[in-house]
A and B are shown apart, each in its own frame.
Chain A
Amino acid sequence: MRLFIDKLSKAYGFLWAVRDLSVEVDSGDLIALLGPNGAGKTTLLKLLAGLITPTTGSIRFEGTSRTARLSRPRTGLLMPADHLYDNLTVRENLRFFLSLYGQPSALRMIDAALNEVALLERGAQFVGNLSSGMRCRLSIAKWKLLQPDVLLLDEPYGVLDGSGIDLLEAFLRHQAENGGIVVMASHHVSRALKLCSRALILKQGRLTFNEAKQQPWTSFDRAFGEFLPHGERWSS
C-alpha cells in the first residue's frame, strides 16, 4: 500500500490551513508530523482520514481512489480524549465500535484488550468519569482491536503517563512492522523522532521538511531548531 498526497490544499474561508502539500508514503512508514501551533497538522490528519474534503489536490491510496468511499483502507484517527461516548461504559464503547466495524465483539476479546492497556478494573465505569490519560488508553485499546491500515494520531503524548507512553509506542511500532502506515502529529519532539522512520515539518500549512530518518540528522537540526523552546536542544 502506498499513499500519494498530491498538491493537497485546504482553505477555510480566506485562510489556507494546508497549502500545496505533496508527499509519498509507503506501508511500514511511521511518520512524525511536526510543526508549530496552527501549522495545519490537525487539518492534514483530518484530510487524510477523509473527514474533510480538500479544496484542491488529491489523496490517493495505491490503486484505490479516496473519493470512492467504499474502496479506501480502514483508517483510524486517535484523538486522545475524543471519539468516545461519555455515558456508555468502557466495555460498551468497545462493543459498540467493534460492532460498527463489523467485527465480533466477544467479551473475552474486549477484556483481553482492556487488560493490555491496564483498564480491566474500569470496564464497567462510564467513560465520562475517566481521566484523559485513561481515555487515551481506551482509544489505544479500541484501535488495537480495530486494526486499521492507516493510523493517524493527534498529540497523544500530552495525556499519557510513562507506562501509557510505552504502550502507545509498542502499539505504533507493531502497526508499522505489520505493513500499516502511521502518521503522528506531536510536540513531543525527542520521543517522536526516536520512534519515527520519517519526519515531516509543517509550517503555515506548507511542507518545509520531508526526510527519512538518518544518523546523525543534521539537516533536521537546522530545519527544526527554531521551533524548540528557548535554550533547549533535542537529541536523537
Chain B
Amino acid sequence: MELIKQTLLLLWKDLLLELRRRDSLLTMFFFGTLLLFVFHFSFDLPPDRVAEMAPALLWLAFLFTGTLGLTQLFQVERENHCFEALLLSPLDRGALFLAKSCFTLLLMFLVEAIVMPLFWILFNLQGWNLLPQLFLVTLLGTVGFCVLGTIMSAITLRARARELLLPLVLFPLMIPVILATIRCMENIMSAGELGAAWSWLRLLLGFDVIFVTVGILMFDRVIES
C-alpha cells in the first residue's frame, strides 16, 4: 500500500545518502566502542560480576550511541531545505515517521551487531550461545527507542540546546523499555532462557506497538509549523 511504498522510498534515499557520507554510522560505531572502553576503566569489575552488569552496561552504551544518531536524524533534510520539498509533496507524514524510525533502527542494528560480540570479547564473557536471544531482546528494545526517539527528535528540531534537550525529554519516557530489556537480558544470562521474564517481554512488545501506532497517527502534527 501507499504508506509502505513511500516509507521504502524514503528509506532507500536515506540509506543511499548514508552510504555515501557515512556520517552517522561510523560516529555511532566508534562512540559505542569508546564507551565500552570507558566502562571497562571506570568499573574495573571482577570477572564474575561482569555478567551481572553486562546488560545494564550494554544498554547504557546503546542509549547514548543511539541519541547521537537521533540528533543527526533530520540533518540531511535540513541542507538545501529539502524538508520543505518533502512537506510540499503528497507524502504521508506517517511514512516519514516510519522511514526515519527504520533508518535509525538499521543503524542501531548494525552498531549493536558489532558492539555486542565486541563486549563479549573485551570483558571475557562466556555464554556465546545466548547471544542470538540477547540480540533479539535488544532489538525489540531498540525498536521502542527508535520510535520514541524519532518523535522526540522531530519535535526538538528547532529548539535551542537541542543536543541536551533531546535526551532530557526522551530518557524518562524510555524507562519501561530500559527496565524491560535489561530484566529480560538478565534472565537469559542467568537462566539460559526468558522464563519469568515473559511478562517483561510482553510489556516491551506492547510499548513498541503502542508508540509505532501513535507515531504514525500523530506525525503530521509533529512536523507542522
Residues of A within 8 A of B (CB): 49-53, 69, 74-77, 79, 81-88, 92, 96-97, 99-102
Assembly CA distance A83 to B80 (angstroms): 6
Interface contact B88-A85, CB-CB below 8 Å? no
Assembly CA distance A97 to B90 (angstroms): 11
Interface: B17 (CB within 8 A): yes
Sort A-B residue pairs by CB-CB distance and give the 7 closest, nearest first.
A83-B85, A82-B81, A82-B80, A87-B20, A100-B89, A99-B9, A87-B17
Interface residues of B in 6-20 (CB under 8 A from A): 6, 9, 13, 16-17, 20
Chain B residues, CB < 8 A from A96: 9, 13
Interface contact B82-A84, CB-CB below 8 Å? yes
**Prevailing SS type, chain B contact patch:** helix
- Also in contact, A97 and B85, with CB within 8 A (given A86-B80, A87-B20): yes
Instruction: Please give the distance in Å from A233's CB to the nearest CB on chain B.
Output: 36
Chain A residues, CB < 8 A from B225: 51-53
Interface: B87 (CB within 8 A): yes
B-side interface residues, number (CB < 8 Å): 24
Chain B residues, CB < 8 A from A74: 90
Interface contact B81-A83, CB-CB below 8 Å? yes
Instruction: Please give the distance in Å from A184's CB to the nearest CB on chain B.
Output: 17
A49-B88, A82-B84, A96-B13 known; 14 new pairs, CB 8 Å cut-off, are A49-B84, A50-B87, A69-B220, A74-B90, A75-B88, A81-B80, A83-B82, A84-B85, A85-B13, A86-B79, A86-B80, A97-B89, A99-B9, A100-B6
Assembly CA distance A75 to B90 (angstroms): 10
Residue on A with the closest CB to B81? A82
Instruction: Please give the distance in Å from A100's CB to the nearest CB on chain B.
Output: 5
Show 5 A/B contacts (Cβ-Cβ < 8 Å), sorted by A: A52-B225, A82-B81, A86-B80, A97-B85, A100-B86
Assembly CA distance A83 to B77 (angstroms): 9
Pick the contact of B16: A51, A75, A92 (CB < 8 A).
A92
Interface contact A77-B90, CB-CB below 8 Å? no
**Cβ contacts B210-225/A at 8 Å (1 or 0 each):** 0000000000100011
Assembly CA distance A86 to B16 (angstroms): 12
Interface contact B84-A83, CB-CB below 8 Å? yes
Residue on A with the closest CB to B224? A53
Interface contact B82-A51, CB-CB below 8 Å? no
Assembly CA distance A92 to B13 (angstroms): 9
Chain A residues, CB < 8 A from B80: 81-86
Chain B residues, CB < 8 A from A52: 225
Chain A residues, CB < 8 A from B88: 49-51, 75-77, 83
Residue on A with the closest CB to B9? A99
Assembly CA distance A155 to B124 (angstroms): 63
